[in-house]
Amino acid sequence: MIKAFLDPPPEFSMAPFWFWNDALDEAEIVRQIADFEAHGVYGFVIHPRVGLPRDIAWMSERMLHFMRVAVEEAQRRDMFVVLYDEGMYPSGSSCGQVVAANPAYQCRCLAKIDLDNNSKNPFHPLNPLTNLVAVVERKDGQRIAVVDRPVDAVIRGLHYIGEGPDEDTPPAADILNPDAVATFIRLVYDRYFEALGDYFGSTIRAIFTDEPGLLGRPRERNVWPGTTGILEHVNAYLGYDFIPHLPALWYDDEPDAARYREDYKRALAHRLEATYYQPLYDWCGAHGIALTGHPGRGDDIGYLRYFHIPGQDIVWRWVLPGPTALEGPESTQGKCSSSAARHLGRRRNSNECFGAYGHGFTWDEMKWLVDWLFVRGVNLLYPHAFFYSIRGPRKDERPPDVGPHSPWWDDYKPFADYVRRMSWLNTDSEHVCHIAILTESIDLPWAAAKICFQHQRDFNYLELRHLWEDATVTPEGIFIAGMHYKAVILDGLTAIPKEAKAALQTLAEAGRLILWGKNGASYQLALQKSVESVQSVEDFLTAIDRLVPPDLTATPPAPDLRYRHVVKGNDLEEVVHYYILVNEGLTPLHTMLTVSARGNATWIDPLAMTETAAVEPFALALAPYTLRILCVR
């Protein structure tokens, strides 16, 4: 057995969310940390959570005192800590303190007023913080006014009202406003450094920012995110005047309404990168720690360039065995974070997993989900969550507890060791993959990805802007961050940016561009050379195989089989190929495998840590909820 695989360093441990959700006690904090360590968990995210008593207020001296107790104990045990930047979530408001510092920093929106069907003066009375953006006439002659105003939006708070379960709802801040974000950084990030900075870069590895939302948690509908002056940014980013198209944000029958909504969302995403993510990323880099966490949607890849540890989150039973494993926006998130990390040169990528899967969540489901992530390249897990307390309503607050209060805690260490091994395997390894699916910064496509998964054609998502920023594009394909993509797939893009056309033209002329599905005609119009789109699965696979011969072949076909091929050195400085194999279905899988790697082969069970000889063609028998590794030296 390879020694480094058998017992990787503690840095590859999972780091569960540790819900601080009740009255805190120094001795109990120390006891729980020791319990984590005894069960193979060597890191944690300190997550102040609803249920804290009011005398432990957000970022108060008392709260920071308890954090210091936890950090000192972690240092003593050679464990690591991740700090959380909000009380409670979504991030960006400092538990209402940003708005308290300046009411003008309250979350804002664009709202419409129907001028023709309003018998009273619609502008009276107006909040002094309301601004008229434009009066626009719809295609049917109806006039609407669009205003920029504060929105009734909140975040979740840290304290129950009475004995709960109702909780505080602090006001959400305007994270499209750079001054509001600067206040957030001062109240949280600077405060953390003042109180705990001597542990930054050693015991404290990162700060976690959690799904910042442009509207926080809105309590009103029919509004769009915005901020004062947002149309100036939108017009500059899009290169045209958006004001005539404002009605498209509210009315489906406006010309090209879907297109203009997408344009507006793209412009907002660009603004949020500049006002929120970039400042947090820069602050963490300057203070010797990583920015970790995840954006608001599982298919947001553009924001991940501003994370030192790009991440996503599987919550609310959005991903389960069956259709959701391969279909829909959430099905993209494992590949989203691992692809971003690969192309951005980040060593780790993460997932906050299991949140709100409910009291019925099972051990088998937990194992299935971590395998779903590992075979897609994730290498740092933030389990949601280990509860400090399950007293009263706390037990039912986004359950389950997947740690000390779970039925499997007594047998947890082998699972924790397994997670550590698989995280090690996916780190500092070469990913054998030559297929890229191009994507915009938001809304990753999944239809072509599903076919690739079901036919063992591994791929990465590649954000379009890499084509003109840091990739090299030649007739041989795309070269970026050590990857060479010989087959490039377009699937469902709403538009082709002008900056990408030259690179796509090069790929098209070399026959390396594969257009999947019904969008092929629109892509052809954007390119000088007509490229045939493929409409059937058979033609799609034929087009891929012409450019990239299969690395792994299953006979008979095994649509529930997922695989990932990575290469690492071993203790003897030999090159070792690892084929990670997962049965994502609910029935046993039997097939014969051939692989491109040649050498002495063994089967490894990384949970039981057994190793047996393997002979080609490799007979694979995988029960449901099972992962095996074919190791070729």
Give the SS3 label for residue 332: helix
Q: What is the pLDDT of residue 524?
A: 59
Q: Which residues contact 113 (CB under 8 A, 6 or more apart)?
A: 122, 123, 144, 145, 146, 147
Residue in 567, 531, 533 with CA at minimum distance from that of residue 551: 567
The topology (CATH level 3) of 433-550 is: Rossmann fold (3.40.50)
Token pair listed for 182 = 């600067």
Q: What is the pLDDT of residue 1?
A: 56
> Is residue 525 a contact partner of residue 515, using CB atoms and an 8 Å limit?
no
Q: What is the pLDDT of residue 4?
A: 80
The one-letter code for the residue type at 371 is D
Q: What is the pLDDT of residue 129?
A: 78
In tens, the pLDDT along 354-394 reads 999 999 999 999 999 999 999 999 999 999 999 999 999 99
Token pair listed for 591 = 């097939």
Q: What is the edge-to-edge ordering of all strands in the sheet holding 460-463?
A: 460-463, 435-439, 487-490, 513-516, 533-534
Q: What is the pLDDT of residue 124?
A: 44
Q: What is the CATH number of domain 3-100+167-218+274-428?
A: 3.20.20.80
Q: How far apart are CA 572 and CA 595, in angstroms?
A: 23
Per-residue pLDDT at 532 exceeds 90: no
Kindly list the distances between the CA atom of residue 251 and the CA atoms of 238, 351, 390, 430, 569, in Å, as whole numbers in the listed order: 20, 36, 46, 49, 58
Mean pLDDT calculated for residue range 174-182 = 98
Residue in 152, 336, 148, 299 with CA at minimum distance from that of residue 234: 148
Place of tokens 């004062």: 228
Per-residue pLDDT at 530 exceeds 80: no
Q: What is the pLDDT of residue 569?
A: 83
Q: What is the pLDDT of residue 627?
A: 97
Q: What is the pLDDT of residue 522?
A: 58
In tens, the pLDDT along 232-256 reads 999 999 999 999 999 999 999 999 9
Per-residue pLDDT at 52 exceeds 60: yes
Q: How far apart are CA 271 and CA 177, in angstroms?
A: 9
Token pair listed for 180 = 């509001």
Q: What share of the chain is helix, strand, coil (3-state, %, to 5)?
A: 35, 25, 40
pTM of the model as a whole? 0.94
Q: Which residues of 573-604 are buried (b: 16+ CB within 10 A; e: fewer)?
A: eeebbbbbbbbbbeeebebebebebeeebebb
pLDDT band at 497 (very low <50, low <70, confident <90, very high): confident
> Is residue 76 a contact partner of residue 37, using CB atoms and an 8 Å limit?
no
Two domains, one topology: 3-100+167-218+274-428 and 433-550:
no
Place of tokens 């360590």: 37
Residue in 316, 341, 342 with CA at minimum distance from that of residue 329: 316
Longest Cα–Cα distance in the chain: 83
pLDDT band at 572 (very low <50, low <70, confident <90, very high): low
In tens, the pLDDT along 118-145 reads 655 455 445 677 899 999 999 888 999 9
Per-residue pLDDT at 485 exceeds 70: yes
Q: What is the pLDDT of residue 100?
A: 98
What value does the mean pLDDT of the chain take?
Answer: 94
In tens, the pLDDT along 68-79 reads 999 999 999 999
In angstroms, how far is the first alpha carbon of the chain from the final one?
Answer: 12
Enumerate the domain spans of the chain: 3-100+167-218+274-428, 433-550
Q: Which residues contact 240 (CB under 8 A, 6 or more apart)?
A: none
Higher pLDDT, 485 or 571: 485
pLDDT band at 594 (very low <50, low <70, confident <90, very high): very high
In tens, the pLDDT along 191-220 reads 999 999 999 999 999 999 999 999 999 999
Per-residue pLDDT at 452 exceeds 90: yes
Mean pLDDT calculated for residue range 36-51 = 98
